[in-house]
Amino acid sequence: QSLGANVTVAEEGDSDAFSASSSELPGNTSDEEKERRRREPDDEGKYHDDPLWYGKTQAEISYATELEKSNGNAASRDGDWKRANRYWKNALKGAQKLQDADTELR
């Protein structure tokens, strides 16, 4: 009798043994399924797959992306290239999340 990643419940000599992997058990899903659900919005339309937009809607992510881009531009005008690069990377992540090719290229 073992209850690990693979579950086997049987007594010695039991021909009707139950054996299943953890992904086959009710209530368990594969890692790919969990990742897919994590990347999709919840019932309220909010995303939870990245700290940059944790709990934000698509409109809020779009606003935050534009804000990060603007902050990066301001930091570059000030000559702070390290900070500008960080802002621009965040803006790129937001554009990729929104699948906004126009913002990705600018």
pLDDT tens for each residue of 55-71: 788 888 899 999 999 99
| CA-closest candidate to residue 94, choices 81, 106, 103, 84 | 103
- Helix, strand, coil percentages (3-state) for the chain, rounded to 5, are 50, 10, 35
pLDDT of residue 78: 96
- Asked if the model's pLDDT at residue 104 lies above 90, the reply is no
pLDDT tens readout for residues 16-75: 544 544 445 555 567 877 766 666 776 777 777 676 777 788 888 899 999 999 999 999
DSSP state of 48: -
Q: What is the mean pLDDT of residues 84-102?
A: 87
